[in-house]
Every structure is written in C-alpha cells, then in structure tokens.
Amino acid sequence: MSRPVTVSFADIEAAAGRLKGHAVETPLVESPALNERLGGRILLKLETLQRVGAFKFRGAYNRLVQLTPDERKRGVVAFSSGNHAQGVALAAKLLGMPALIVMPSDAPAMKVANTRGYGAEIRLYDRLSESREAIAAEIAESRGAVVVPAFDDPHIIAGQGTAGLEMAAQAKAMGAAFDLVVAPASGGGLIAGVAVAIKTLSPRTEVWAVEPTGFDDLALSLRAGERVTLKPTGRSLCDALESPAPGVINFPMLAKTLAGAVDVTDAEVADAMRYAFSTLKLVVEPGGVAGLAALLAGKIATEGKTVGVILSGGNVDPRLFAQVLRGEL
C-alpha cells in the first residue's frame, strides 16, 4: 500500500529556495488601531502585495519551475476563477512556456483581463452547466499539457507554505511569537502549507481556517473526520473561496494541524473590507479579507493574544469594491 502524499517542512524550505528572487517577501505589518480594537497584537501578512496581487504566485511558480524541458515546451493548463489563473499565467510567462486557463464566464473582469495580460490563453465556461475539470483534462490530453491544480498538489501546497515560513521569521524579528495564525480556506492549499510551516517552528501556535458561510466544507470535514463535499445552494461574496470540498492531499494535513475552522457571512466580509480600506489603508478582495473578518466579528478570540492573519489577495473588481465601500453590500 502506497504512503499518502503529504508535504514536509523540508519541502517548504526547498520551495522557498526556488522562489527566492522571484516571489516578493511580503511585509508583516501591525496597526495600533486594530490592536486596540481587538485587544491583542495583530500582525497582518500582506499577500495583497505579492506578484499578481495574491499568494497564488508562490505555489504556481514552485510547480512550474520543476517541469522538465519537454513539459515546458508542451505547456500547462489550469482552471481558476482568478488568482490561481494569474499566478500560473505569470509563472508560465517568466519560464517561457504556453499556458491555457479555464475560467468561469462570471469571473471578475479584472482577474480575466490580468490573466490574459500575462500572456495566457483563456477558455471561458459556464460554471452551472459545464465541468472545468473535464474541459481542462480534454485540453491537456489534446495538447500533451500538464494540468496545474489550484490546491490539490504537493508542489502547490509547499509553495503556498512559504508564506508561513516568512511570517514566522518576520514575527521573530519583531519580538513576537504567534499564539494564533488565521488564514482563509477554499481547497486548503494555502492553509495546509502555512500550518505545516508554523506548527513545525512553533508547535504551541494554533492555526485557524476561515471559510465563507455556505461553503464551510472544511469545518464539516473536520467534524466528520473525513472529506465532506457540499452542494452549494448559492454564491458567496468570496468568489475565491467557493470550493465545495477540501483537497484530497490537503485534508489529512489539515486534520492533523488545524485547531478549527470558522465561517464568515458576506456582511461580515464587507465590513472587514471597509475597515481594511478606511482604517488600515489596504485594498483587500473578499476572499482575501476572510481571516480579518473572522477576528472583527469575534469568531476567534484575540484578547491578550498575538495573532498572525494572512490577507491573501487584493484583486477586487472596482465596481464591486465601490458597492462595498458605499455600504450597498
């Protein structure tokens, strides 16, 4: 019987070596106003300032840079509503290989435009009537291209985990030790990698996942002790966090490392986006602000604690952002 695929601390360190000089070492910042409001020391990891405006570049580059010369020639295919699409597109451009991205026709216009701007070919699909996985598999077979998953891949997870590696080193340099680390979760690529990095360096630190209400498949899976797949009945403001199930590779890792998972409503996410903009002077997309939303809504206790929060992306559609700022959402 083969051993289950997993990601080690050494894998994340190796990914950090590959990303050095290519990914941005994003800042870890502190706001006195936020500390005062939450009664703790809150350190924000600004992956909004990563290349492509989201953490996804880390995993995409770590995956693509390990492809063979022959695989690079044949190119890659990925499916994503936006940030993974942009990460794969830019990584492919930097490494000189073709990329095709399967994107939903209702994906944020800015994410589609940015992905195309990095040189990728785009195939739009209807998320209600078509399967993005089936489309990607068909394209990959016809072109001999490599499919690059958004989260269910050890190289992707290891790449995302480098954000946790950086956070730990940055906090130490600030004289801080995390009691909690909080990050958004969709399929679980980011938080699985980050949890391995953080728990290896600081076993006492609790790692918490945050999901959109109605897409709490990770919380349900943790309670059930096995992967649970949802059948969503609607959409979330957090378009980047709508995976119906945690990844096959990701879930066993998360079951071992997470303290728990909480969910946030669209209203709580919108409140957090307004707070980030008005008080912190940060532009954060809905999915990217989920961790902060959980703290501001009191879903995770922060009083007297040092908390690391990953703001995972800043690619928000301008019209949607204007609606949020006006209080219309």
pLDDT in tens, 60-115: 999 999 999 999 999 999 998 789 999 999 999 999 999 999 999 988 888 889 99
* Alpha carbons 207 and 181: distance in angstroms, whole number: 5
Lowest mean pLDDT among 13-17, 18-22, 212-216, 229-233: 229-233
Q: Are residues 280 and 241 in the same domain?
A: yes
Q: Are residues 204 and 287 in the same domain?
A: yes
- Give 171's pLDDT tier (boundaries 50, 70, 90): very high
Q: Are residues 90 and 204 in the same domain?
A: no
* Listed residues 96, 125, 147: the one ending a domain: 147
Q: What are phi and psi of 277, to 5 degrees?
A: -75, -50
pTM: 0.95
Residue type, 119: G
- The yes-or-no verdict on residue 2 having pLDDT over 60 is no
pLDDT of 48 reads: 98
Query: In the chain, what percentage of residues exceed pLDDT 90?
Result: 91
Q: Are residues 234 and 91 in the same domain?
A: no
Q: Are residues 180 and 282 in the same domain?
A: yes
Q: Are residues 172 and 23 in the same domain?
A: yes
Q: Quick check: is 263 in a domain?
A: yes
Q: Quick check: is 2 in a domain?
A: no
Q: Quick check: is 4 in a domain?
A: no
Pull the structure tokens for residue 5: 């695929």
- Domain holding 136, by residue range, is 57-147
- The yes-or-no verdict on residue 207 having pLDDT over 90 is yes
The pLDDT tens digits for 27-37 are 999 999 999 99
When divided into structural domains, the chain yields a total of 2
* Listed residues 147, 182, 216: the one ending a domain: 147
pLDDT of 327 reads: 96
Q: What is the mean pLDDT of residues 189-195?
A: 98
Q: Quick check: is 28 in a domain?
A: yes
* Alpha carbons 269 and 293: distance in angstroms, whole number: 5
- The yes-or-no verdict on residue 135 having pLDDT over 90 is yes
The pLDDT tens digits for 273-329 are 999 999 999 999 999 999 999 999 999 999 999 999 999 999 999 999 999 999 998
The pLDDT tens digits for 220-251 are 999 999 999 998 888 999 989 999 999 999 99
Q: Are residues 34 and 105 in the same domain?
A: no
- Give 3's pLDDT tier (boundaries 50, 70, 90): low
Residue type, 255: A
* Alpha carbons 113 and 98: distance in angstroms, whole number: 17
Q: Quick check: is 31 in a domain?
A: yes
* Listed residues 102, 119, 147: the one ending a domain: 147
Q: What are phi and psi of 249, to 5 degrees?
A: -75, -40
* Alpha carbons 58 and 63: distance in angstroms, whole number: 9
- CB proximity list for 137: less than 8 A, separation 6 or greater: 147
- Give 128's pLDDT tier (boundaries 50, 70, 90): confident
* Alpha carbons 290 and 286: distance in angstroms, whole number: 7
CATH of the domain at 115: 3.40.50.1100
**Containing H/E element for 28?**
strand 28-30
Pull the structure tokens for residue 248: 């096959």
Q: 189 and 312 in contact (C-beta within 8 Å)?
A: no
Q: Are residues 263 and 167 in the same domain?
A: yes
pLDDT of 264 reads: 98
pLDDT of 22 reads: 98
Catalytic positions, please?
56, 312
Residue 2 burial (10 A CB sphere; 0-12, 13-18, 19+): exposed
Place of tokens 């961790």: 291
Mean pLDDT across the chain: 96
Q: Are residues 202 and 139 in the same domain?
A: no
Q: Indicate the SS3 state at residue 218.
A: helix
Q: 210 and 293 in contact (C-beta within 8 Å)?
A: yes
Q: Are residues 23 and 41 in the same domain?
A: yes
Q: Are residues 287 and 169 in the same domain?
A: yes
Q: What is the mean pLDDT of residues 247-264?
A: 97
- Give 5's pLDDT tier (boundaries 50, 70, 90): confident
Among the listed residues 209, 219, 215, the one whose alpha carbon sits nearest the alpha carbon of residue 294: 209
* Alpha carbons 111 and 125: distance in angstroms, whole number: 15
Q: Quick check: is 3 in a domain?
A: no
- The yes-or-no verdict on residue 1 having pLDDT over 70 is no
Q: Are residues 33 and 181 in the same domain?
A: yes
pLDDT of 111 reads: 85
- The yes-or-no verdict on residue 120 having pLDDT over 60 is yes
Q: Quick check: is 21 in a domain?
A: yes
Q: What is the CA radius of gyration of the chain?
A: 18
Q: Quick check: is 285 in a domain?
A: yes
